[in-house]
Structure 1
């Protein structure tokens, strides 16, 4: 699984041409054989964090922790090996725009 973490560069700071390039890059990654695209997530401020303590369900608006990088989306990739997954992760625009892509094996 590739977890796409957005950095602190907001989309609206990119020029229109840069936005088109980023969108085309994400589309190309999605069409890569072995990739099952996931879904984009809303911003962390819209999250609700759920915990159960002493049998009571507790909710908190927003993410639990402040972090520079927030999960923005994900995809699944049936890779031959870790090197192939890393190569694909390097093609994801968030990795070059101040974010990161976490490659995590599934059980």
Structure 2
């Protein structure tokens, strides 16, 4: 099964120049290789900071764009990794090994299998 791992961090902490943050950034450079060697890696991408993006909404047939997302949080979505794992426990274990887990947070969610019935709410 595939799992999306959403990586969140506080840019001021991660890019603040502390020895801990610098060590984490150094380890991040090769972590995809660790995941490839273990057979978990599907894909991964780091994201630029939110201010460089745009939020798009469509309302009443009109597309509205605003610069960067408005957030009242210090942590931002900084990257995504797609992994293969037999279950959520294994996916969480794999995500917990990512260097950024020690300085930020990683949300792990199963990817929807569209061959299965939709969730009932």
TM-score bracket, shorter-length normalisation: 0.7 to 0.9
Structure 1 residue runs of 5 or longer lacking an equivalent are none
Moved more, 26-35 or 71-80: 26-35
Per the alignment, residue 3 of structure 1 pairs with 6
Q: 1:34 to 1:21 in 2, by over 3 A?
A: closer
TM-score by length of 2: 0.74
Greater Cα radius of gyration, structure 1 or 2: 2
- The alignment covers a number of residue pairs equal to 106
Matches within 5 A, 1:12-27: 12-15=16-19, 18=23, 19-27=25-33
Q: Helix, strand or coil for the counterpart of 1:73?
A: strand
TM-score w.r.t. length of structure 1? 0.82
Give secondary structure in 2 for the equivalent of 1:58: strand
Structure 2 unaligned segments of length 5 or more: list them.
113-121
Give secondary structure in 2 for the equivalent of 1:20: helix
